Amino acid sequence: MNTRTEPSPKRGMGCFPKGCLIFIVLAILLLVAGIGGTLWSVRHVYLSDKPAPIPQASAPNETEPATLGEAGPARPSNASVAVRERLDTMKKAARAHEQTEVELTAADINSLIAANRKSRGTASVGIDDNVLQAQFSIPLQRLDLPFRNAFGLGNRYLNATVTIVAPPGTNASTVQLSEVKLNGHSVPADLLDRQLLGVGPSLRRYVIKYANKYGVTDGEIRDGKVILHTSGH
């Protein structure tokens, strides 16, 4: 008798594939449009006509300039595979109601970004003691935003820096952005809790979604690492 072999499940891609990037960029643009008040301010003040330099992780503790236009396939490095396995182990522990923790360095996070061809070259993370800073430079021409060409945004870049401080016990519902800058201009740091157009879902809803996906109950940024916990309950 022939037995049917079930295909092995695909690993989750996290929050960096193209679809998630599209949502994040669209959400930020809509939120900033509400803050800035006009499309002109979004296009000329908060967006740039040039990319920001983003280091690309090629191996642990090594960086090289990223090419934003590069669209070739990205091969997962040994580092990114190891990090993915640790995250998968944490997910399994959460499902089994086991208490565990995973420590992620900036190099770990950057290896995950670099391993995905949709996110490679668009983001980079650095951690200094208990402060995490993420840099983004996302070319809008690579995203299928519905109004991109109609409003002349096809040649613009979303260049941003986000600073986060997370003391022990921080969870997806309480994490806050300490500072947010778009194209060098400060915007309110409560972007996570602002609703799209005043009625839609907030970005925090998606933070909570991905925390639940991996069973993360709380975490902290300490000693140059992001430390994620599952409670075991």
Q: What percent of the chain has pLDDT over 90?
A: 36
pLDDT of residue 61: 41
pLDDT digits (tens, 9 = 90+) for 28-78: 766 666 655 566 677 778 889 999 998 765 444 433 444 444 444 445 568
Kindly tell me if the per-residue pLDDT of 161 is higher than 70.
yes
pLDDT of residue 59: 41
Domain count of the fold of the chain: 1
Closest CA to 143 of 21, 27, 3, 8: 21
Residue 196 falls within a domain, yes or no?
yes
Residue 11 falls within a domain, yes or no?
no
List the domain range (segments joined by +) for residue 156. 18-65+75-230
How far is residue 123's CA from residue 36's CA, in Å, rounded to a whole number? 24
Residue 7 falls within a domain, yes or no?
no
Residue 216 falls within a domain, yes or no?
yes
SS3 percent helix, strand, coil of the chain, rounded to 5, is: 30, 25, 40
Residue 163 falls within a domain, yes or no?
yes
Residue 50 falls within a domain, yes or no?
yes
Kindly tell me if the per-residue pLDDT of 164 is higher than 90.
yes
Residue 1 falls within a domain, yes or no?
no
Residue 101 falls within a domain, yes or no?
yes
